[in-house]
Amino acid sequence: MISEIIKDQIKKSSVIRQMFEEGARLAKQYGKENVFDFSLGNPNVPAPDSVNESVKKILDTEESVKIHGYMNNAGFPEVRKKIADSLNRRFNTGFDETNICMSTGAAGGMNAILKAILNPGDEVIVFAPYFGEYANYVANFGGTLVTVPPALPEFRPDPEIFGEYFTEKTKAVIINNPNNPTGVVYSEEDIKAIVSVIEEKKAQFGTDICLISDEPYRELVYDGTEVPYLTKYYSDTFVCYSYSKSLSLPGERIGYVVIPDEMTDAKDVKAAVSLATRILGFVNAPSLMQLVAAENVDAEVNVSAYDKNRKALYEGLTGLGFECVEPEGAFYLFMKSPIDDDKTFCDMAKAENILLVPGSAFGCPGYVRIAYCVSYETIVRSLPGFEKLSGVFGLVQ
């Protein structure tokens, strides 16, 4: 019954989800407190109180037909205006409501952007390791994902290598900053280097090449790390933002896409993203959550719990002899597997009730991802299991 394409996609379907389901099974068998599930990027920090207060206030004060009705596919204009104003205050940009299209999270935003720009056969460049769902999103519109190999050991983009992956079919480059799965944050210098390669290739091939900045982790940064705002460096930039991680609202499916006026054919692109939102079947982003987002555009994002976990995990694992990339943002730690076969290492960790995701799910075999958006106790209680694994490989002399 089902299509050959989705048959293949099911086969390759997200290892992360499979691990999450495995976690639920193990929790039933051994008790939740004895299973260390680091598989899914599901925030454990509750949404700020102001979010729940906004929900109640909106339900009490706004007209029901407005809250629950259809609207412009791009979203409520006043919500988009509030978001634009907040971006302008924070990043010194010059957006208004016409530059914002509300989306059903980052996943909905990415699909709307790709639907708007891709012709079948177009290529989209990503840097490995990358969020595995990009392959499905690009395939949804007949595009081809082109992977720049990982720049070990620091996972910062190497402009020379990056330049080799462009062809006349390159339509877009996706940057995910702060990065899932490495926790690395590209600096202004990294971004300028990437942009200069794109400019050069655009001139060489005489084509339009967009930058897509997928940034659901923008506010989740540590030690004052800055995340450059990409529309300021390259005018053909889409920003894809989500409240899933910053406000801990992944189930609510709310985010937005930014389309700057400086973008080539900006008016058509805005119309295309808005129409794509409709015809992909989202129609518009969830209405109540749009109103909630508008009330919380400047809500303070609490990163202290993640930061505490980050430090405990990084110090714990490196103390046990594991090689880790020190995370600067998001809530993931990328650790080198002590053996080349990352899947076998994940199986060994599973025997200690520790659930990790193999780096191969992100186009980077030989590593594993640890999502530390869990309780601090989970981190502390998992360390003896990691110690056993370290012992197996004789990592501490």
Q: Which SS3 state, helix, strand or coil, does residue 271 take?
A: helix
Give the separation between CA 241 and CA 332, rounded to whole angstroms.
18
Strand partners, 123: 144, 170
170-176 and 255-258 strand pairing: unpaired
Residues with Cβ within 8 Å of residue 206, at least 6 apart in sequence: none
Query: Applying CB under 6 A, which of residues 39, 180, 284, 378 lies at the interface with ligand PLP?
Result: 180
Q: Where are the alpha helices (DSSP H) in 39-95?
A: 49-61, 64-68, 77-91
Q: Lay out the site mask for ligand PLP across 57-86 (x = CB under 6 A, - = otherwise).
A: ------------------------------
Question: For residues 214-233, which are near ligand PLP according to CB under 6 A?
Answer: 214, 216
Question: For residues 118-177, which are near ligand PLP according to CB under 6 A?
Answer: 131, 176
Query: Applying CB under 6 A, which of residues 15, 26, 38, 41 lies at the interface with ligand PLP?
Result: 41
**Residue 92 region, left (φ>0) first, then alpha (ψ -120 to 50), else beta?**
left
Using the contact rule CB under 6 A, the part of the chain among 70-78, 105-113, 202-210, 286-294 near ligand PLP is 105-113
C-beta closer to ligand PLP: residue 106 or 354: 106
Q: Lay out the site mask for ligand PLP across 247-286 (x = CB under 6 A, - = otherwise).
A: ---x----x-------------------------------
C-beta closer to ligand PLP: residue 176 or 353: 176
| Side-by-side strand order, sheet with 237-242 | 100-103, 255-258, 237-242, 210-214, 170-176, 123-127, 144-148
Which two tokens mark 178? Answer: 């702060």
C-beta closer to ligand PLP: residue 357 or 389: 357
Query: Applying CB under 6 A, which of residues 54, 177, 237, 244 lies at the interface with ligand PLP?
Result: 244
Q: Which SS3 state, helix, strand or coil, does residue 185 take?
A: coil
Tell me the CA distances in angstroms from 244 to 55, 218, 328, one per residue in order: 16, 11, 19
C-beta closer to ligand PLP: residue 107 or 209: 107
Minimum CB separation from ligand PLP for residue 78, in Å?
A: 22
Q: Closest CB to ligand PLP belongs to which residue? A: 105
Rg (CA), the chain: 21
What is the contact surface with ligand PLP in residues (CB under 6 A)?
41, 105-107, 131, 176, 180, 214, 216, 242, 244, 250, 255
